[in-house]
Amino acid sequence: MSKAVVDLVRSGDVRAAARLMRDLDDGIPAAQRTLRKIYKHTGRAFILGITGAPGAGKSTLVDAVVTEFRAQGKTVGVVAIDPTSPYSGGAILGDRIRMQRHYLDDGVFIKSLATRGHLGGLSRSTIDVVNVMDAMGKDIVIIETVGVGQDEVEIVKVAHTNLVVVVPGLGDDIQAIKAGILEIADIFVVNKADREGADRTRRDLETMVSLNEYEENEWVPPVLPTEAVSGKGVHGLVEMVERHRAHVFIDGNIERFRREKATVELFEMLKIRLLEKAVGDLERHGLLDGLVADIAARRKDPYSIVEKVVNHSFAANLIG
């Protein structure tokens, strides 16, 4: 069964791929097993991350960038992430609205995902879904993060090239020295560059970049203005993306990137699985509620409990 799915996905079958992505998002065990077989067929796609504050124009920029890549004849997958409501668990995924002109293009596959409580700017399933698009044979996979603040930088570990989209007027120059998303940019995009203050924003970012120390041959993030709605500046942006891509794929860099990415993939999966196993074990033995109540009432402390769970549950299993 899953052999058939693997073949269908690799042949680019939209329905099979869409279902597999959905099953991965929903955490269906059979889909995880399929992914194990697909993994060896991944690693071919170029992965472009686009992040920035809500309303910065990320979706519109994705739309314009897709148009450029399609003009080059490249096939594109888009993974667009929007937030899940912490109250209802529901979500409105609206990034597609800006990408309508690509709906009927067979060379473009758009998948919307909700964060489902995952922090960091991506959904828990993002890496899995990117892997499926990669296995489908997409040349480029674009990940649009949820609108982020300052600290949601998970994308840096997934994408080869990271665009940070900034708009004029979001804050004074002190914002530009803050840590977080401003540190992860391979390319800064000052979108809505027709607005007042765009030059100021560009200069602030350039100043910030110039204060960093770079080694010889190290990539220095450029700052590019765009007007995503009209497409102005997008051609130049895509050229710069290609230059960064060439930089990432030179000897030495790409090996390091792949090792870092493999480390992240392993750690992320461990984090999820270990947590689920620990919580599952506690629940199954009816211990979870009592422990939570004990901690809440300050009868026990969480530090000792975590230590016990880790030592007993995982150490024993690893050795065995």
| Shortest spacing between CB 152 and other proteins, in angstroms | 20
Residues, the chain? 320
Pick out residues in 148-167 that bind other proteins (CB under 8 A): none
Q: How many residues bind other proteins (CB under 8 A)?
A: 49
Q: Are 146 and 152 in contact (CB under 8 A)?
A: yes
Q: In this complex, which beta carbon is closest to other proteins, that of residue 42 or of residue 313?
A: 313
Kindly state whether residue 118 participates in binding other proteins, applying the rule CB under 8 A.
no
Kindly state whether residue 243 participates in binding other proteins, applying the rule CB under 8 A.
no
N-to-C CA span, the chain: 32
Kindly state whether residue 271 participates in binding other proteins, applying the rule CB under 8 A.
no
Structure tokens at 196: 């007042």
Q: Are 75 and 139 in contact (CB under 8 A)?
A: yes
Residue of 211, 220, 297, 316 interacting with other proteins (CB under 8 A): 316
Kindly state whether residue 289 participates in binding other proteins, applying the rule CB under 8 A.
no
Burial of 125 (0-12, 13-18, 19+ CB in 10 A): buried
| Shortest spacing between CB 301 and other proteins, in angstroms | 16
Q: In this complex, which beta carbon is closest to other proteins, that of residue 253 or of residue 313?
A: 313
Q: In this complex, which beta carbon is closest to other proteins, that of residue 145 or of residue 161?
A: 145
Nearby residues of 227 by Cβ (< 8 Å), 6 or more positions away: 191, 192, 193, 194, 233
Kindly state whether residue 110 participates in binding other proteins, applying the rule CB under 8 A.
yes
Handedness of CA 289, 295, 299, 300 (dihedral sign): positive
The one segment of 110-118, 159-167, 188-196, 206-214 that binds other proteins by CB under 8 A? 110-118
Query: Which of helix, strand or coil describes residue 196?
Result: coil
Q: In this complex, which beta carbon is closest to other proteins, that of residue 85 or of residue 212?
A: 85
CA dist., res. 158 & res. 264, Å (int): 8
Structure tokens at 176: 């530009």
- DSSP letters for 286-313: T-HHHHHHHHHTTSS-HHHHHHHHIIII
| Shortest spacing between CB 94 and other proteins, in angstroms | 5
| Shortest spacing between CB 159 and other proteins, in angstroms | 21
Q: What would the x/- binding string for other proteins be over residues 15 to 54, using CB under 8 A?
A: x--xx-xx--xxxxx--x----------------------
Q: What would the x/- binding string for other proteins be over residues 61 to 80, using CB under 8 A?
A: --------------------
Residue 56 has what DSSP assignment?
S
Residue of 66, 109, 154, 233 interacting with other proteins (CB under 8 A): 109
Residue of 4, 7, 11, 14 interacting with other proteins (CB under 8 A): 14
The one segment of 150-158, 213-221, 294-302, 308-316 that binds other proteins by CB under 8 A? 308-316
User: Angle at CA 226, nearest 5°, toward 205 and 121?
Assistant: 70
User: C-alpha 93: how far from its chain's center?
Assistant: 16
Greatest distance between any 2 Cα atoms in the chain: 65
Burial of 20 (0-12, 13-18, 19+ CB in 10 A): buried
Which residues partner with 51 through β-bridges? 164
Binding site for other proteins (CB under 8 A): 14-15, 18-19, 21-22, 25-29, 32, 84-85, 87-94, 96-97, 100, 103-104, 109-112, 114, 116, 272-273, 276-277, 280-281, 284-285, 287, 308-309, 312-313, 316-317, 320
